[in-house]
Amino acid sequence: MRLASLVLFASLAQTLAPSGTPATVGTSGTPGTSDLVRIDAIVTDARNRVVETLKPEEFELREDGTPQTLVAAPLVHRPRLVGIYLDEYFVSASNTATVKAALHRFVDEQLAEDDQAVVLRPLDSLLTIKLTRDRAALHAAIDMFEGRRGDYEPRTAFERSYIVSDRGRADEQRAQSTWSTLNALTLHLANLGAGRSSVLLVSEQAYPVMRRRGFEGLPTSTSVTRTANRSNVAIYVLDPRDARQRAASPNEGPNLLRVLADDSDGALFSGPDAAEGLRRMMADASSYYLLSYRSARSRDGLFHAVQIVVKRAGLKVRARSGYWAPTPDEVQRANMVAHANDPPAP
């Protein structure tokens, strides 16, 4: 109970950050007016090379089958933002060295000078998430990683006080920690308003968390998917297991790792393919078009399918399949938080 309360507090505090709602769906204007929706799109040619010469009039975009008028479609080149979550509770100890080696190489070889990243582990504070260019700090955080899947021995005073040792209940608590941290990390990246950003989840298994009375506000896998989908945050999953290990320990239940990656325009890759998967993650965030249009349905809390087509022949477009609109309550809450520090009216 106490752990759930702490996680809920941290999640709500992150959700109500002063930056307001995620960047994909704007909340300017008054209820009933159309709001700005932004969808990132990666365009490649037949040889899988990124195409950077398209003009806005060469795109066609439909929402729920209805043609939309683009406000803008700039090509984006920005420093890349990466949030890394090392899910120690669901990575086997035998794969600790594999994860560390892959991530150390990633920091040294894939991060450019202006790129920023943050590394989180279970039970790290969600209220002080801070991206950094400090490579030494990132290496130090990676060195602290230790896979603990199946190991329920408490390591800290907090775990001894609040984490149960019974396997079934412990896995539920650990899964809640995973979803809450991923949700907070995704919201933090979204609130920076930097266009497409990336979350790297290092995990072998994602467990669903059932809704329970009194804990409806706690994030779930659905919460994370919706947050990432509406915020131009792509989730990439590194499963450090090789084919032999995956065959020996099949997924226990739905493969939520695959769902997270597919629904956020990310990717899932395994230990042997880690280097190539990480290169793809950074390439995806290096050059993309940010298509903006105004939607009259961007506040109804529903999913709206988006289809993007390029008129120039021979080109392929990759983009998320749509977006989850915030509910009217979410819009109102975000506006209240955004104006919380305004001076009182005379």
Question: How is the beta sheet containing 267-270 ordered, strand by strand?
Answer: 116-120, 81-86, 197-202, 233-239, 267-270
Q: Which residues of the chain have pLDDT under 50?
A: 1-33
Q: Can you read off the two tokens belonging to residue 176?
A: 């809640």
The pLDDT of residue 66: 96
Q: Whose CA is closest to 307, among 49, 65, 46?
A: 65
What pairs with residue 12 in β-bridges?
none
The pLDDT of residue 213: 62
* pLDDT tens string 7-30: 443 443 443 333 333 334 443 333
Task: Write the single-letter amino acid at 136.
Answer: A
Output the pTM of the full model: 0.86
The answer to whether 218 and 10 are in contact (CB under 8 A) is no
How far apart are alpha carbons 269 and 280 in whole angstroms?
10
* Strand 59-63 versus strand 35-44 pairing type: unpaired
What pairs with residue 234 in β-bridges?
198
The pLDDT of residue 1: 40
* pLDDT tens string 168-201: 788 888 999 999 999 999 999 988 877 899 999 9
Query: E strand or H helix at 305, and its extent?
Result: strand 303-310
DSSP-derived secondary structure letter, 253: S
| Per-domain residue ranges of the chain | 2-17+79-284, 35-77+288-338
DSSP-derived secondary structure letter, 166: S
Task: Write the single-letter amino acid at 341.
Answer: N
DSSP 112-130: -TT-EEEEE-TT--SS---
Q: Can you read off the two tokens belonging to residue 232?
A: 């131009």
Report the alpha-carbon angle 339-345-346, nearest 5: 160
The answer to whether 170 and 156 are in contact (CB under 8 A) is no
The pLDDT of residue 247: 84
* pLDDT tens string 37-55: 999 999 999 999 999 999 9
What pairs with residue 40 in β-bridges?
290
CATH code for the structural domain at 2-17+79-284: 3.40.50.410
Q: Whose CA is closest to 22, among 197, 273, 206, 212?
A: 197
CATH code for the structural domain at 35-77+288-338: 2.60.40
The pLDDT of residue 262: 92
Q: Can you read off the two tokens belonging to residue 328?
A: 């009217």
